[in-house]
A and B are shown apart, each in its own frame.
Chain A
Amino acid sequence: MDDFETATVTRSVDLDATPERVWDALVDDDQRSAWLGRRSRIDVRRGGPGKVTDDDGTVRHLAVEDVQPGRRLAWRWWPEQTGNCSTVEFVLEPVGPGTRLIVTERAAPGTTVAACRSAAGSGVSSALVCDRLTMLARVVGAAVVVV
């Protein structure tokens, strides 16, 4: 469905593969590069950065927004060249032995490349801070509560 009013494009495809197998194809860089554009690298965790190069050479930067293994992956991305920020959501549903994969891309209203970048930047840095605190906790053997 392409919907002018809600600015969304939705596609669904039924795959002869388990949700686990499809999930791997979404999150593994080498596997993803076989089907999403020419090449992609994504740090698949909330706030993680990524970069996808399309077949036509268009480079999109992205920030991961949601990771629910085997069920849902969402990111926000924006082409390097234009200010067209959008969100992408993958939902995996088991259908018999296979998987229905539903993809929704939505133009993000009221956002600019700068806004996308800063949203991504803050997500990345807070993820890094969390990682560092977790590492520190391991080193000192203490529990860390991130507020």
Chain B
Amino acid sequence: MAAKSGRTIIAEQDFSWKTFFLKWEWLLVILFIGINIMNASLSQYYLSGEGLLNATNSFLEKAFVALPMAYILVLGDIDISVGSTACLSAVMLAYCYNLGVPMGVCVIICLLTGTICGMINGLILTKFTELAPMIVTLGTQILFRGIAEAMLGDEARGGLSTVKWFSDLYWGKIGIVPIMLFCFIICAVVFGFVLHKTCFGRRLYAIGANKLAAEYAGIKVQQIRMIVFTLTGTFSAVTAIFLAARMGSTRADIATGYEMEAIAMAVLGGFSTDGGKGNYPGLILAIFIVGMLRYGLGLINIPSQLMLVVIGALLIVTVMLPNIRSMVKFKKKAA
């Protein structure tokens, strides 16, 4: 075939150790190992199996939002309403439970709320394609949070921990593996598989790389955006469930800033906000890097304010590093 057209198409690049080790993920692996060494030297209990698993439980509920957020970034879109969606879903859950609805139904209502929120985002964005996702989700961010505030005011709705199976979602364990970690692994594998091994995943990358070209290639761009935004809403609700299970009560100000954390995790993992870039192993590494770093800094009682500085700096420096490398290379070539 290749000979016929007079061109050879190289499907796979020649394997070279240099390019292999200069990949983004290695930077993350080094960071990850570094942070774990730091944590281990700070606490002697850290490197036990149970210690590690407990550490993961301290941050994983946020990571559920980061999974679909990566999809959104691949599309070249952004969603800053996820924190508010999670909040509204959790508030719905607690509100219904306090009205006497059985917990199982409450969880379904919670998931439905998240899905509808995501759908609203998706609908507005696909019906009015001129609008930037940043501004639409900014609007819905304020709106969803506002609805939650209108429902609860400044009260808290609690009593969720009286349902054993519900609080077990966060606190329970299968053997020594927390149930949440278990759920997370399943979700991450499914998300990763869909992104990297299916038609749908390739379409996401195609849209992110060039929306117009993707449209001409027959991809239903708006339909896919709709699906992804709805999915993000659903998974915000999943986060809400674990969050509610952890705290046993909800307020209208929970999950503030989750959108930024999810975006930070995804960007650190190599997903570009311009779309079309990034892969799942990187994301998973980044989730654990941010989480473990937080956990470790918490171990030595670093004030949470300094933690903000460290995580912010980590985000900027890691994103900037490859650019600096290519800049230096460019200058060398020019010289």
Is the pairing of A and B real? no
Q: Which chain A residues have a beta carbon within 8 Å of chain B's beta carbons?
A: none
